Structure formats: structure tokens, C-alpha cells
Chain A
Amino acid sequence: MSLQRPVIWVHEEALGSSNPALLERPNSPALFVFDTRWIQEARISRKRLGFLYESALDLPITLRKGDVVKEVIAFAERHNADGVLSSLPVDPRLERIAVSIESHCPLELLEPEPFVTMPRPPRLGRFSRYWREAEPVVWEGF
């Protein structure tokens, strides 16, 4: 990893101790931001926010709300960071946020531990096609 003094952006897909960014830099300041635009536009209910809040409280992270990009950049400045470290998101909304953060400062994304590592990308389209290829590999670990 090239970043020397990163802050960690924890997002909604990685609110656990297996977050690869937290594992990589357990002592770096870390932040979770409640994305107020998403919450309003998708009409996210309070129980979903409560679940996220309780999960975030288990991690050594600062909690804020607002525009995620602005909050992450401000947090990096607050800690004199040389960049932002996070886990690779799947959600395109989080991906867009990552791209915006990267336009302001260096960003590194770490891939979480995979469920199954395939020798080549599996065929998708229907579950049965994917599972025909993935299942034998998954069971190799048993």
C-alpha cells in the first residue's frame, strides 16, 4: 500500500471487523457517513438506519451524516491524511462516491475476502450456470 497516513472510509457493505481496510490499518482514523441524499431518495426507514448505527458502534469509527464525498474529504483534511483507504464496493452508488473521492485525493480500495475464488470468471446469467462452476470450488474448503 502506498498511502502512509490514510483515513479509512467505511461504507454500508463493510460494517464489520473483516473490513479489509480496517484490518490493513487498524490504527488509522476511520469514518462512516450516513448518506442523507440516499436516505431521502430511497425513503430508507429508521429501522434500517438503526441497524447501520448499531453495527457502526462496534467499530472504532467516527459517525457523521451528509454528503459522503464532502465528509470523507473533510475527515481526511482533519487528520492530515495523504489519502483514503476503503474496501471495494459492489453498489454502483458507492462506486460513484469512490470515484468522486478519488478526484479529490488518492484512494485505495481493498477487496474483501471472497466467498469463492474461481480459476476464471464464472458464467452468470442464471444461478445454475454459475453454481455448476462455483460449487466444487467452494467445497474444496470443507
Chain B
Amino acid sequence: MPPQPIPTSLSWSERPGDLPRDLADRRALDRLLAEQFPEAGGRLSSLRGGRDAAETTLSRIDPRRYTKSRNHLKGAVTGLSPYIRHGVLSLAEVRDAVFQRIRSRDEGSKLINELGWRDFWQRMWRDLGDGIHDSQEELKTGHDPASYAGELPEDIRAGRTGLACMDGFQSELTSRGWLHNHARMWMAAYVVHWRKVHWKAGADWFLEHLLDGDPSSNHLSWQWVASSFSHKPYFFNKGNLERFSDGQFCRRCSSSERCPFEGSYEQLEGQLFASQGSIRDVPTRRSRNHQQRSGRQQELKGSGQAAMARPKR
């Protein structure tokens, strides 16, 4: 167990009730959190917080490889989202680090684009406020919104669906607190479209665990999958998941003979949605919640961080 870095010392005295800053190692931190926050479940992630960990992660970014491989689970994604989310690194700092590593705009455009997504989500949050918790538009699935379950099924929460991919994602989510964006989208699509669970139940579950748990990018991305923040629902098939996960789940899946993701996009669309016509024809209708924002925020210009990109099918 590596020791904890020596904390920055304070120039003022401590008082009773101050939480300890001097911890021998991560085991001590784990014990402290268990004692101070007994209601917070699970254990520490293998991912560490703090500036050193953030700088190490930032030093490893490779914008060129990111461009080519980002949609693959083993691709050169940056892993910076938890640090950006909590301001350990600023989005401007990451932008400048990308600029320093590229020779041409082409080499960095995908990664800069992804940082743009994070800025976009923050601006949306400023705009919508608590409205991100509400569906932004009507669903384009052809299903009654009330027909979606309000609670996450226990087999999904516990990682016992019998689907190696989804149970694998659950394990990563609950132990490490970080998932590749493509895995987030597959899981969200499975929960919402295959299991007919309301996007909010899944989105809230993700926020319990994700170290980068940003309500704006998370909730609006779940809505993007569900189709209440996009023109059509996002779904995938086995071929897509197998390709971008290098077959790591399908090879050992006990449900491979009855994979619910098997089929062409046309076949799955027919199975999952009430009518294909509805996917394309429902007009966009926004329900904004400006009235929930305080005067202070409405007068201020946005700045940003945080998000989830859109892999192609």
C-alpha cells in the first residue's frame, strides 16, 4: 500500500471536528471514510484523486492515438474526466496541454472536440439548472413515458444480468468508478431500451459511482440515449459491441446463445421501439426550466468542463 502524499500544511490551527489531513496510507483513508461516512457504500477506487495523479494522467495523453482509437474500450482515451469534473485540472489547462502535443490541427481536433462537449454540458447546466433532471423533449421510441420502470432492476444493480458485457460494466462502474464512454452508452441503451427502465433511474445510479459524476453530462447523455435529448434513440447491436470491445465479453458470455443484442439494426429497431415512424416524426419540443435559476446565474456568462462523446454505430 503506497503512502499518501504529505498534505500541504496549514498556517492556521486545527479545531475539534476538523477531518484529519495526515493519513499514513490509502488503507487509513478507507478506514476513516468508513467511520465518518458509514452510509457511503463500497471501497476506494484504484484511481487516485489529487494533483499528482492528475498530472501523471495528463502527461500520458496522446491526441493522435485518441483520434484513431477512442471508440475502442482499449483505445487511447485520456481518463481525465474525474480530474476535470472536480477542478483538479481546468479544461483550459487540458486544452493547452493538447495544443503543446500536436503539430497540426488535424492531430488534435477530436480531443479538442471532446473538451468542447464538456464545455457544452456545463453551459447547458447553467441554462437548464435543475431542469436537467426532467426529460427535455418527448421520447421518439413510440412508447408511453409512463411505461418505463421507475426503479433500476436489482439484477442490473448487482451485476447479475447473465450478460458478460453488462455485468462487466457494472463491475467496473461499482469498483473503479469509471467507465469508457462507449460502455456508458451501451449500458444506458440496455437499461432504457432493452429493460424499459426510465433513464433517470439509470442516470442516478451512475452518479452514485462515477468519480466524474457530473449531473449535467451524465443526465443529458442518458437522455441522448433515451431520445429525450436527441432526434432518435441510441441503440447498438452485438456486432458493434463485439468490435469495439475486441470481443472480450462475448467470448466468455454464458448468454451468447440468447444474446439480446444479436441482430441487424433494422431487426432491433423493430423489436425495441413501438413504431419506426415515431422515431423520425415526433417534433422537437423543449421544456426549459429557466425559472429555477437564480438571478445571479442568469446574469453570468458560462465556463465549463465535463462529458461523454458520441461513438458512431
Which chain A residues have a beta carbon within 8 Å of chain B's beta carbons?
12-19, 27, 29, 34, 36, 39-40, 42-65, 78-79, 87-88, 90-92, 95-96, 98-99, 109, 111-116, 121-122, 124-125, 127, 130-131, 134-135, 138-139, 141-142
Cβ-defined contact, B86 with A55, below 8 A: yes
Report if B147 contacts A (CB, 8 A).
no
A15, A54, A55 interface centre (most CB from chain B within 10 Å): A54
Pairs A–B under 8 Å by Cβ, sample size 13:
A13-B85, A16-B83, A16-B90, A18-B89, A48-B210, A54-B4, A62-B18, A63-B21, A90-B125, A114-B302, A127-B120, A131-B113, A134-B116
The residue that B49 contacts in the complex, of A18, A29, A39, A54, with Cβ under 8 A, is A54
Nearest-neighbour CB distance to chain A for B17, whole angstroms, equals 6
Report if B199 contacts A (CB, 8 A).
no
Which residues on the A side are within 8 Å of B33 (C-beta)?
46, 49-50, 53
Report if B286 contacts A (CB, 8 A).
yes
The CA of A124 and the CA of B176, in the complex, are separated in Å by 33
Cβ-defined contact, A127 with B117, below 8 A: yes
Cβ-defined contact, B87 with A16, below 8 A: yes
Closest to B7 in A: A57
Nearest-neighbour CB distance to chain A for B198, whole angstroms, equals 17
B29, B49, B93 interface centre (most CB from chain A within 10 Å): B49
Given A90-B122, A113-B303, A127-B117; A55-B50 close (CB under 8 Å): yes
The CA of A36 and the CA of B33, in the complex, are separated in Å by 12
Stretch at the interface among B8-16, B187-195, B247-255: B8-16
Cβ-defined contact, B44 with A60, below 8 A: no
Which residues on the B side are within 8 Å of A96 (C-beta)?
294
Nearest-neighbour CB distance to chain B for A115, whole angstroms, equals 4
Given A12-B86, A16-B89, A47-B177; A39-B39 close (CB under 8 Å): yes
Which residues on the B side are within 8 Å of A91 (C-beta)?
125, 215
The contact size tier of chain B is 35 or more
The CA of A90 and the CA of B96, in the complex, are separated in Å by 22
Which residues on the B side are within 8 Å of A27 (C-beta)?
11
Cβ-defined contact, B304 with A115, below 8 A: yes
Cβ-defined contact, A78 with B95, below 8 A: no
The CA of A114 and the CA of B102, in the complex, are separated in Å by 21
Nearest-neighbour CB distance to chain A for B80, whole angstroms, equals 12
Which residues on the B side are within 8 Å of A40 (C-beta)?
39
Closest to B231 in A: A126
Report if B267 contacts A (CB, 8 A).
no
Cβ-defined contact, A92 with B292, below 8 A: yes
The CA of A100 and the CA of B99, in the complex, are separated in Å by 40
B47, B50, B204 interface centre (most CB from chain A within 10 Å): B50
Nearest-neighbour CB distance to chain A for B67, whole angstroms, equals 15
Closest to A27 in B: B11
Nearest-neighbour CB distance to chain B for A29, whole angstroms, equals 5
Cβ-defined contact, A15 with B87, below 8 A: yes
Which residues on the A side are within 8 Å of B12 (C-beta)?
29, 62, 79
The residue that A121 contacts in the complex, of B90, B118, B124, B302, with Cβ under 8 A, is B302
Cβ-defined contact, B87 with A47, below 8 A: no
Cβ-defined contact, A42 with B208, below 8 A: yes
The residue that A16 contacts in the complex, of B86, B120, B304, with Cβ under 8 A, is B86
Cβ-defined contact, B48 with A54, below 8 A: yes
Nearest-neighbour CB distance to chain A for B87, whole angstroms, equals 4
Which residues on the B side are within 8 Å of A142 (C-beta)?
99, 102, 105, 108
The residue that A138 contacts in the complex, of B47, B50, B112, B125, with Cβ under 8 A, is B112
Stretch at the interface among B126-134, B233-241, B256-264: B126-134
The CA of A127 and the CA of B123, in the complex, are separated in Å by 10
Which residues on the A side are within 8 Å of B207 (C-beta)?
42, 44
Cβ-defined contact, A15 with B123, below 8 A: no
Report if B74 contacts A (CB, 8 A).
no
Q: Which of B71-113 contact A (CB under 8 A)?
A: 82-83, 85-93, 95-96, 99, 102, 105, 108, 112-113
The CA of A92 and the CA of B294, in the complex, are separated in Å by 9
